[in-house]
Structure 1
Amino acid sequence: MAAGLALALLMTPIGSAAAKPKPTVAQTKQKLAKLNEQADQLVEKYNQAGEKWKRARKKYADLNADLSKQSAKVAGLRDDLVTMAVTTYQGGAIGWPNLVGEVNPNLVLSGLATADQISASRAESLHAFDEANKTLRDNRDKAKQALADADQTRDELAEEKEKVEKMIKIQTKVLRDLGTFRPGDPNSTGMQYNGSASGNARAALTFAFAQLGKPYRYGGTGPDSWDCSGFVQASWRSGGVSLPRTTWEQWSWGAKRKVSLSDLQPGDILFSQGLGHVGLYAGNGKIIHAPQTGDVVKVVPLSSYGGRLLGAVRP
């Protein structure tokens, strides 16, 4: 018997005794929930970096345009100074010897006034040229700094993008293991909104319901895919309200428009704890949102947030 046991141990592949049991469905779902929460935060950081990059790029473009205008102004002033110098040289300077020999006192006074005017004009032109040159140098320095900032934010964006894409691969694998990955339909026409909202909120929800079934995609701003904040931004744009791009910015934008979670109305914007996620209150205790990777724009019970709601904003 001992020999048989020894043989059995020899026949057992190394490491099989220590092999981990396959996670249960419940454990896998729990892991997915944590992954989704982490992904929400990463996607919002990516979106923030993207907005920062756009602002830095625009600032550089604006400064560059100003720099071109200022360069043209300086060139024009330089040409004026050259023309003045040439004219003065060719016409001869108005000096005291010319004026002292003049018998007519009125002509003497006129000559002195002309000399003062030429001197004042020259001084004014030189001052304008100096000031324009200083502004040109300042603008050039600002443009260089703006370009450096844009380059830095571009690097930040690339770094956040890499983190998000690694997370998406993990999420996708877990979802496929569970058999719950939903690719969605980019051409979905959704469904008609028949709720009680009116005015701008109705227009926002009409747009939102027309997106049902379209896939979630990080950084998505439509029309064929969405992330959560892009979805909310576009929905309320249809309602005539211009919202910032990211969840954090939307929450900040709504600082003076917050409403109690016990007094929700259809169209209110709902934010999750940590500001990683956002959606629209659809009425009747439900929310419409673009959830996460491997899912689609859909309506879910408000209770599915399980106490993770931070607050609401009414545009």
Structure 2
Amino acid sequence: MASHRRPKQPSRTRVTVLTTAAAAAVAFSANAANAAPSEKPSKDEVKSKVDKLYEEAEKASEKYNGAKEKQEKLEKQISTLQDNVARGQEDLNTLREGLGSMASAQYRTGGIDPSVALFLSSDPDDYLDKASAMDQLSSQQVEALKKVQEKQRSLAQQRKEAAEKLKDLADTRTELGKKKKEVQGKLGEAQKLLNTLTAKEKAALDAQQARASRASERSALDDNPGTSKPGSGYAGAAFAAAQGKIGSPYVYGAAGPSSFDCSGLTSWAYAQAGVSIPRTSEAQANAGTRIYSQSDLQVGDLVIFYGDFHHVGLYAGNGQVLHAPHSGAVVRYEAIGNMTFEFGVRI
């Protein structure tokens, strides 16, 4: 017999779920069809973002330079302290041997009790007090023991200082690693952005920068007589040395002779003139007399940029600066107005 049972109807909940899913699918398809494809940033937008990343990288680079300089100073100080401690220990051993010899000689002549040797090896202060109270020490021994006490105190202080500097060195090395990682991260981001440009766009940016650099060089070298003041002997010699490095690549942490970062170039240039200035741009900002008016700048003066002093160059005359700009660039001339001028520094 044929069954006349009515087919089972879908539940209200199932119908609702299916309807909602279908509606969502239709809406998604419509949105996908109508959505505009993500636009590729323009050449100028990429340049602006890359310049910002380079500036951030340079800030980190100068912090890296500061940590590196501190590390080198600490390593020298620790080495000196450790050498002093080693020599001091030898002196202390010699003094103790001398005291032992005197004590032995006294014992052989029926003098001081040999048990006082315990005090010599453990606590000279206590030994001196007790033995003096018993009137068992000669003036020669008192003087020798005082020398032992002084040497022990000196050694203890030097060991403490060395331990503190070793801890400081460990912290500095940690900071150095962080700053290096930060610099590399910023440069990596910049490179990714540059890789989005076509070969033609990259060539256009390079040509644009080359034109600007040539214009700055002409402006500096073709300066009208009297417009810019010549630098002092040291400043002039430093500037001449830096001119010889035009075209050298920027490399963070580098201070010549084949590659430079901003403060690496200025410190190297002044070193060629026989003048030692600090390694970082922040420290160079305090290395001489500040010149706040651009009209008073002389060729070879340091020029400090940005509020945190993270960039420095050499004044080239006629409103131009000779500097190592950033990663991906070379030592070149540039208009001071392209950056935020803070002040000059005359060494």
Shorter-chain TM-score bucket reads: 0.7 to 0.9
Unmatched 5+ stretches in structure 2: 1-24, 113-134, 207-216, 224-229
Unmatched 5+ stretches in structure 1: 1-5, 95-115, 183-190
Question: Which of 88, 92, 106 does residue 88 from structure 1 map onto?
Answer: 106
Structure 2: how far apart are the matches of 1:291 and 1:175? 17
Q: How far did 1:231 drift?
A: 0.2
CA distance 1:18–1:63, change in 2 (3 Å): farther
- Cα pair 1:258 1:311 within 8 Å, conserved: yes
Question: Which of 264, 270, 274 does residue 303 from structure 2 map onto?
Answer: 270
Structure 2: how far apart are the matches of 1:140 and 1:179? 58
Q: How far did 1:168 drift?
A: 1.3
CA displacement 1:104-146 (0-9 Å, x = unmatched): xxxxxxxxxxxx9961111111121122112112211211111
Give the structure 2 partner of residue 261 of structure 1.
294
CA distance 1:13–1:165, change in 2 (3 Å): farther
Structure 1: how far apart are the matches of 2:87 and 2:53? 51
- Cα pair 1:259 1:314 within 8 Å, conserved: no
CA displacement 1:144-174 (0-9 Å, x = unmatched): 1111111111111111111111111122333
Pairing 1:27-38 to 2, within 5 Å after superposition: 27-38=45-56
2:55 paired with 1:22: no
- Cα pair 2:263 2:313 within 8 Å, conserved: yes
CA distance 1:22–1:224, change in 2 (3 Å): same
Decide which moves more: 219-228 or 56-65. Answer: 56-65
CA RMSD, Structure 1 to Structure 2 (Å)? 2.9
Question: Which of 195, 200, 203 does residue 237 from structure 2 map onto?
Answer: 203
Give the structure 1 partner of residue 65 of structure 2.
47
- Cα pair 1:172 1:293 within 8 Å, conserved: no
State how many pairs are aligned. 276
2:179 paired with 1:160: yes
Pairing 1:126-145 to 2, within 5 Å after superposition: 126-145=145-164
Structure 2: how far apart are the matches of 1:249 and 1:310? 14
CA displacement 1:73-98 (0-9 Å, x = unmatched): 1111111011111111122329xxxx
* TM-score for the superposition, normalised by structure 2: 0.72
Give the structure 1 partner of residue 332 of structure 2.
298
Decide which moves more: 19-28 or 72-81. Answer: 19-28
Give the structure 2 partner of residue 3 of structure 1.
none
- Cα pair 1:291 1:297 within 8 Å, conserved: yes
- Cα pair 2:92 2:151 within 8 Å, conserved: yes
CA distance 1:16–1:168, change in 2 (3 Å): farther
Pairing 1:160-309 to 2, within 5 Å after superposition: 160-176=179-195, 177=197, 179=202, 197=231, 199-254=233-288, 256-273=289-306, 274-305=308-339, 308-309=340-341
Structure 1: how far apart are the matches of 2:181 and 2:272? 32
Structure 2: how far apart are the matches of 1:270 and 1:16? 54
* TM-score for the superposition, normalised by structure 1: 0.79
